[in-house]
């Protein structure tokens, strides 16, 4: 049985949740041999995933009978088996990283199906893949997204480098519940020149979870807007310390390593075995 990792932020649009998820998934797919599935549940979330890996003319998300909706229909008709799931996903890196297009249904329509069918669908995904990576959205409203966080084997809590918002979070019920969860913190769009360093923030708020920073990187943001996520990583994996992308890549690699270790799937590639885009 595979493991499910959910990226989530309590603050919409503040913590670079999708950026950190895409960077981690790309790094893990290129540097580890576990079979992984990257999953955007709704079409508006899936669009960011598709844009990161496919140029507009090659985007497969509009193909019929693929993705989340096709799988939900099979599940409702009791025809879905774990071995079938890969036929409905799109391969990004052969035998290592696939992406599953999200549902085309509006959020309200998807919520009704998610309450009944999402958990068995994710269980099927975990039987088919070693690691399932999901964008859990943002906010703290109850509903299927809250259930999604509860189902996660590892919860990646994406936080902003903002003292006021952090004060609110660490005084919230959600923060208190994390002590009983397997979770790590990620500070996305991080500014290394700020006095709000990870060490200073940890002394102030005294959390127990491990914390990572993923700094703002213009080159990466441009790459994920142009379908160049995988080529970007190939170009920058072995940059020198003086290179403008070196520290960003190093931070993402540290986060990816922590994720793969925490889910017990640390199987690095050997002998230079890689798939080029």
pLDDT tens sequence across 184-223: 999 999 999 999 999 999 999 999 999 999 999 999 999 9
Tell which wins on pLDDT, 121 or 43: 121
**Count of C-beta atoms within a 10 Å radius of residue 206:** 8
Provide the CB-side half-sphere exposure for 138 (13 A, CA): 15
Q: CA of 99: how far to CAs of 49, 91, 106, 148, 221, in Å?
A: 8, 6, 20, 18, 19
Averaged pLDDT, 237-249: 93
* Paired residues of 158 in beta bridges: 186
Which residues, other chains included, contact 74 with Cβ-Cβ below 8 Å and sequence gap of 6+? 80, 84
CA-to-CA distance for 9 and 160, rounded, in angstroms?
9
Identify whether the C-beta of residue 270 lies closer than 8 Å to the C-beta of residue 16: no
Query: For position 272, what pLDDT does the model report?
Result: 38
pLDDT of residue 59: 67
**What does the alpha-carbon distance between residue 66 and residue 269 come to, in Å, rounded to a whole number?**
29
Q: State pLDDT tens for residues 100-150.
A: 888 888 888 888 888 888 999 999 999 999 999 999 999 988 889 999 999
- The radius of gyration of the chain from alpha carbons, rounded to an integer in Å, stands at 18
Give the tens place of pLDDT for each residue, 52-86: 998 877 766 555 566 888 888 898 888 888 888 88
């Amino acid at each position: 049985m595979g493991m499910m990792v959910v990226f989530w932020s309590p603050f919409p649009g503040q913590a670079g949740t999708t950026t950190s998820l895409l960077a981690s998934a790309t790094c893990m797919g290129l540097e580890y041999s576990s079979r992984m599935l990257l999953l955007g549940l709704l079409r508006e979330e899936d669009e960011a995933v598709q844009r990161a890996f496919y140029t507009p003319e090659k985007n497969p998300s509009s193909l019929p009978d693929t993705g989340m909706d096709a799988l939900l229909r099979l599940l409702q008709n009791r025809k879905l088996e774990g071995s079938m799931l890969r036929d409905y996903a799109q391969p990004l890196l052969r035998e290592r990283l696939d992406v599953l297009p999200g549902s085309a249904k509006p959020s309200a329509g998807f919520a009704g199906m998610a309450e009944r069918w999402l958990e068995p669908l994710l269980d099927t995904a975990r039987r088919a893949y070693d690691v399932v990576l999901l964008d859990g959205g943002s906010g703290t409203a109850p509903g299927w997204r809250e259930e999604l966080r509860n189902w996660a084997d590892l919860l990646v809590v994406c936080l902003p480098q903002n003292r006021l918002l952090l004060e609110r979070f660490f005084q919230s019920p959600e923060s208190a519940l994390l002590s009983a969860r397997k979770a790590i913190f990620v500070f996305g769009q991080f500014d290394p020149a700020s006095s709000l360093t990870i060490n200073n923030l940890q002394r102030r708020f005294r959390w127990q979870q491990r914390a990572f920073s993923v700094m703002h990187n213009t080159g990466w943001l441009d790459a994920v807007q142009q379908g160049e996520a995988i080529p970007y990583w190939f170009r920058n994996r072995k940059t020198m310390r003086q290179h403008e992308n070196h520290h960003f890549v190093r931070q993402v690699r540290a986060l990816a390593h922590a994720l793969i270790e925490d889910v017990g799937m640390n199987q690095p590639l050997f002998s230079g075995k890689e798939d080029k885009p």
